[in-house]
A and B are shown apart, each in its own frame.
Chain A
Amino acid sequence: MPMVNIAGKDYEVDEEGYLIDLSQWNEDIAKYMAVEEKVDLTEGHWEVVNFLREYYAEYQIAPAVRVLTKAIGKKLGPDKGNNKYLYELFPYGPAKQACKIAGLPKPTGCI
């Protein structure tokens, strides 16, 4: 598996750049992955990333898209609680791109 070195620390990632060991996640690796994904991290991005990590800690899976949009809508206002806003933040799709930056495994299946 490939390794990424940031500030003297090694992180193991899979072929697609997803973090292997979730406990290694920190802001440095999130920022590194965001650059790889060509995403400029703003406060809005961090809200999503943090929610993903909280949800994952409780349920061992990323939240369904509806669950995510609702949570973001509650936090940031109803105009942001929709799929369109999430795609503006994460153009490749919130499920996969946001999970990667949040250090979660890639969701699989017919999605």
Chain B
Amino acid sequence: MAAAEFDIPEIKDYIEVPKLREGAMAHAKTFIAPQAVQDFMGYPHELADNWKESALEKMGDLLGKYRSLKVFLDACVHCGACTDKCHYYLGTSDPKNMPVARQDLMRQVYRRYFTTAGKLFPKLVGAKDLTKDVLDDWYNYYHQCSECRRCSVFCPYGIDTAEITMAGREILNHIGMGQKYSNEILGKVQKIGNNLGLPGPALLDTLEGLEEDIEADTGVAVKMPIDVKGAEVLLVTPSADFFSEPHVESLIGYAKVFHAAGISWTLSTHASEAGNFGLFNGNYETMRKVAMRIRDAALELGVKRIVVGECGHAWRVAYSFWNTLTGIGYGADDPFSIELQKQLDPNYPQPQHICELTNDLIKSGQIKVDPSLNDDLIVTYHDSCNVARASRMGTEPGGQFTIPRELIKSVVNNFHNMADDTIYESTFCCGGGGGLLTDDLMEVRVKGALPRATALNNVVKEHQVNFMATICAICKAQFTKVLPKYGFDMSMVGGVHQLVSKAIKLD
């Protein structure tokens, strides 16, 4: 697209902490949501005369609602441990992309209006008035944070920058500065059923086409069932799995797994999206509405299990929040919650990640695989931020790291991890998470991918790695778009179930 040109950072041998370049990314401003989009979300679309009062009122509301936000704003001692941990800082050199500085954009306002010292002696405590300039900084830099939470791993107080970013975006939405990309998607998922806006008939047509493709490839009639009442499993997966390459290869992989294991399963047109951008916006009500679609579909279809496909933030919402958003924790006396709990099979985790399901089936011998069918590949694994730092998988601590790797190693013979400080809980974000996967933030995305590209480059040089697997639709879309800027081929990125799909025996 006609995006501004910018320099692509050079990959070095190691991830270097860059010299500060003040204001280097001050120009990066994602498109503001237009009126139609904001109307649907119930937000204004432009600043009113009293925007400052509204913003402070909303901030007070959030501080009262979320104890964590107040603690995070109070607790920072500016020790500096987080400064070089953010991929956006490492890639852009802009000091406001240091997590502490990003937090301080809100902290300075918090001190000015919500602390006694800041009200009386603002200069002494770094308190600042909420001006239009400060507000613009909020908009620009709270949309240069992917809410990946790597900085929080290194903070001695455990301050979670993502929560501050979410609060910032919530306040911005409240006064009429919403982000077009995320809010447009939140409208589509609620109106049509998925982030892409793929209507039912198009989805059916797409799935039929995929069934034909699989049969042509394998000679086996693997089905892609949808809206089947009484199926055992409801699979919810990102709508990119229906639409894009390489995502669709993983969808084919899930279908083959269910087929080979003889598990009846179904997709849902009503809940044809696992993703939940309500998380990115920091709005609990939106997140709940989006999550409710999945509960509705599970009840309507009478399924016994809910399985989530390869989507990072969806898994965070499912694993960490579904219970209190829509499930028994949402109100134990809610008849629908009680009905759903009775309906779901207690022998399985609810929800269950597709990687855990497939890994269990392979280990127990219920499906057979031939890893030599992936012998053309030397594989590494990118831990997606929301899976790594905001959820778990299986029954053991760290299952979110070990299960995908066990699964990969059972379907490929050549596997190498990237450097230790770039994987597991220290994983670097792909650079496109948290609502930043939009063309208008391409510079932020490309530069933010530098740390991951550096780590990847090292295993490419050392072990001739030619495939990076991941379990997130955003990671897949982001990497296929930005890694070519660093000289990698877009086809070296794909899903874990893309590998499963190649190795699985269907007879």
Interface residues of A (CB under 8 A from B): 15-17, 36-37, 59-61, 63-67, 70, 83, 92-93, 95-97, 100, 107-111
CA distance A65 to B210 in the complex (A): 11
- Given contacts A93-B481, A96-B1, A65 and B196 within 8 Å (CB-CB): no
Chain B hits for A37, CB < 8 A: 1-2
Interface residue range, chain B: 35 or more
Most buried by A among B2, B185, B244: B244
Chain B interface main SS type: helix
B80 within 8 A of A: no
- Stretch from B58-66, B167-175, B198-206, B388-396 at the A interface: B198-206
Chain B nearest Cβ from A52, distance in angstroms: 13
CA distance A63 to B439 in the complex (A): 20
CA distance A37 to B3 in the complex (A): 10
CA distance A97 to B31 in the complex (A): 18
State whether A66 touches B210 (Cβ < 8 A). Answer: yes
Chain B hits for A100, CB < 8 A: 1
Chain A nearest Cβ from B243, distance in angstroms: 4
Chain A nearest Cβ from B70, distance in angstroms: 33
Chain A hits for B2, CB < 8 A: 17, 36-37
Looking across the interface, which residue of chain A has its beta carbon closest to that of B313?
Answer: A110
Query: Which of B184, B205, B238, B439 is within 8 Å of A67, CB to CB?
Result: B205
- Given contacts A83-B245, A95-B244, A110 and B195 within 8 Å (CB-CB): yes
Chain A interface main SS type: loop
Chain B hits for A63, CB < 8 A: 202, 206
Chain B hits for A92, CB < 8 A: 1
State whether B439 touches A96 (Cβ < 8 A). Answer: yes
Looking across the interface, which residue of chain B has its beta carbon closest to that of A1?
Answer: B34
Looking across the interface, which residue of chain B has its beta carbon closest to that of A86?
Answer: B245
Chain A hits for B440, CB < 8 A: 15-16
State whether B209 touches A111 (Cβ < 8 A). Answer: no
State whether B275 touches A110 (Cβ < 8 A). Answer: yes
Chain A nearest Cβ from B77, distance in angstroms: 37
CA distance A37 to B2 in the complex (A): 7
The number of residue pairs between A and B whose CB atoms lie closer than 8 Å in the complex comes to: 99
State whether B185 touches A108 (Cβ < 8 A). Answer: yes
B477 within 8 A of A: yes
B51 within 8 A of A: no
Sample 5 A-B pairs with CB under 8 A, ordered by A number.
A60-B199, A61-B199, A64-B243, A66-B245, A111-B247
CA distance A72 to B247 in the complex (A): 20
Interface residues of B (CB under 8 A from A): 1-2, 31, 180-181, 184-185, 188, 194-199, 201-202, 205-206, 209-210, 213, 238-240, 242-245, 247-248, 275, 311, 437, 439-440, 473-474, 476-477, 481
CA distance A34 to B390 in the complex (A): 43
- Given contacts A93-B481, A107-B196, A16 and B437 within 8 Å (CB-CB): no
- Given contacts A17-B1, A66-B210, A107-B243, A60 and B202 within 8 Å (CB-CB): yes
Chain B nearest Cβ from A22, distance in angstroms: 14
Chain B hits for A65, CB < 8 A: 243-245, 248
Q: A66-B209, A110-B311 are in contact. List 13 more A-B contacts (CB 8 A).
A: A36-B2, A37-B1, A59-B199, A67-B205, A67-B206, A95-B244, A107-B197, A109-B188, A109-B238, A109-B473, A110-B239, A110-B240, A111-B196
CA distance A96 to B238 in the complex (A): 18
State whether B188 touches A108 (Cβ < 8 A). Answer: yes
Chain A hits for B184, CB < 8 A: 108
Chain B hits for A16, CB < 8 A: 1, 31, 439-440
CA distance A17 to B180 in the complex (A): 15
Chain B nearest Cβ from A68, distance in angstroms: 10
- Given contacts A109-B185, A109-B275, A64 and B244 within 8 Å (CB-CB): yes
CA distance A95 to B247 in the complex (A): 14
Chain A hits for B209, CB < 8 A: 64, 66-67, 70
Query: Which of A60, A64, A95, A109 is within 8 Å of B248, CB to CB?
Result: A64
Query: Which of B31, B180, B199, B239 is within 8 Å of A109, CB to CB?
Result: B239
- Given contacts A16-B440, A109-B240, A111-B244, A61 and B194 within 8 Å (CB-CB): no
CA distance A63 to B184 in the complex (A): 19
Chain A nearest Cβ from B343, distance in angstroms: 29
State whether A15 touches B31 (Cβ < 8 A). Answer: yes
Chain A hits for B205, CB < 8 A: 59, 67
State whether A110 touches B474 (Cβ < 8 A). Answer: yes
